[in-house]
Amino acid sequence: MPNKVPPSQHFLKYSLFYGRPGERSVGYDNERGKGDHRHYGSREESYQFVSIERLLTDFRQDVEAIRGEKI
């Protein structure tokens, strides 16, 4: 059985990125020691992981919002 990535309570390791080289505009990941969190512009905040589907939906919505696209 795979190991959890502490302090996350699930077994999924993920890292989603949107930006340019050297510039992260949106990011979602669960780095060891930090747990599930999101980056949006210059902000970093915790993220409540529910499911892979929800993660991808939230990421896409943030990318569309930062690009100024209609959601």
Q: Examine residue 58 and state whether it is found in any structural domain, yes or no.
A: yes
* Residue 19 covered by a domain: yes
What total number of domains does the chain contain? 1
15: its two tokens: 């890292």
Domain-embedded: residue 4: no
* Structural domain includes residue 20: yes
Range(s) of the domain holding residue 49: 15-66
User: Do 42 and 24 touch, CB atoms closer than 8 A?
Assistant: no
* Coil, helix or strand at residue 19: strand
pTM, rounded to two decimals: 0.86
Is residue 6 in a domain?
Answer: no
Q: Does 40 map to a domain?
A: yes
Q: Residue 7: inside a domain, yes or no?
A: no
pLDDT tens, position by position, 13-70: 999 999 999 999 999 999 888 899 999 999 999 999 999 999 999 999 999 999 998 6
Residue 43 pairs in a beta bridge with 40
Q: Is residue 35 part of a domain?
A: yes
